[in-house]
Amino acid sequence: MPMQDQFNLQDLQGLDPEMISAIYDRYFPEVYRFVCYRLNNEHAAEDIASDVFIRLIEALHASRGPQSNLRSWLYATASHIVNDHLRKTYRQPQSELQEMIPDKAAALDLDYERQDVENRLKEAMTVLTEDQQYVLTLRFSQGFSLEDTAITMNKNVNAVKQLQFRALSALHRILNDRT
């Protein structure tokens, strides 16, 4: 998947509707998938993905938007908002934690077994560190190469290799513990 943006970031400051629409159409699906992969709540995922683009135009308007890599900026922002959301959710009372628990009713409409696997995975993912969740999401949900993941996470390739190794080890351990 190419990491180069075909948009001139300097031209975006004017918030031209056509340009920002093009950016939205290009990146919203990726961002939405990224957020959905880490959350078990589609409504929250929609809000967060939308917030990422609101933050982008606010940042562009204030001349403090992405300087070189729009895509990395979007992922980093999405990751921060998701982390904040998860932290808030953990601090909420039990009733608020429902969104972390798989939606059983929704599972009836889908392949139950597949839904169950997905829910188990998302629950297990929440136990991982933020960086571990980030690397697994980029690699397995977004299909990023090792190099693209390293650029997006602002790390070197070897660090990402180690991080994904530890993330997969932890994930396997958590999934085994829960079965």
Range in contact with another protein (rule: CB under 8 A) among 69-77, 82-90, 93-101, 115-123: 115-123
Residues 58, 63: Cα–Cα separation, whole Å: 9
> Residue 7, interface with another protein (CB under 8 A)?
no
> Residue 165, interface with another protein (CB under 8 A)?
yes
Tokens describing residue 36? 């959905």
Q: For 5, left (φ over 0), alpha (ψ -120 to 50), or beta?
A: beta
Cβ atoms within 10 A of the Cβ of 51, count?
A: 16
- By CB atoms closer than 10 A (0-12, 13-18, 19+), residue 127 is middle
Considering only 9, 24, 100, 103, the residue that binds another protein (CB under 8 A) is: 24
> Residue 162, interface with another protein (CB under 8 A)?
yes
Contact 66, 9 (CB under 8 A): yes
Distance between first and last Cα of the chain: 35
- Smallest gap, in angstroms, from Cβ of residue 110 to another protein? 11
Residues 133, 37: Cα–Cα separation, whole Å: 10
- Smallest gap, in angstroms, from Cβ of residue 94 to another protein? 25
Considering only 32, 73, 75, 134, the residue that binds another protein (CB under 8 A) is: 32
Interface residues toward another protein, by CB under 8 A: 14-15, 17, 20-21, 24-25, 28-29, 32-33, 36-37, 46, 49-50, 53-54, 57-58, 61, 114, 117-118, 120-122, 136, 139-141, 143, 146, 158, 161-162, 164-165, 168-169, 171-172, 175
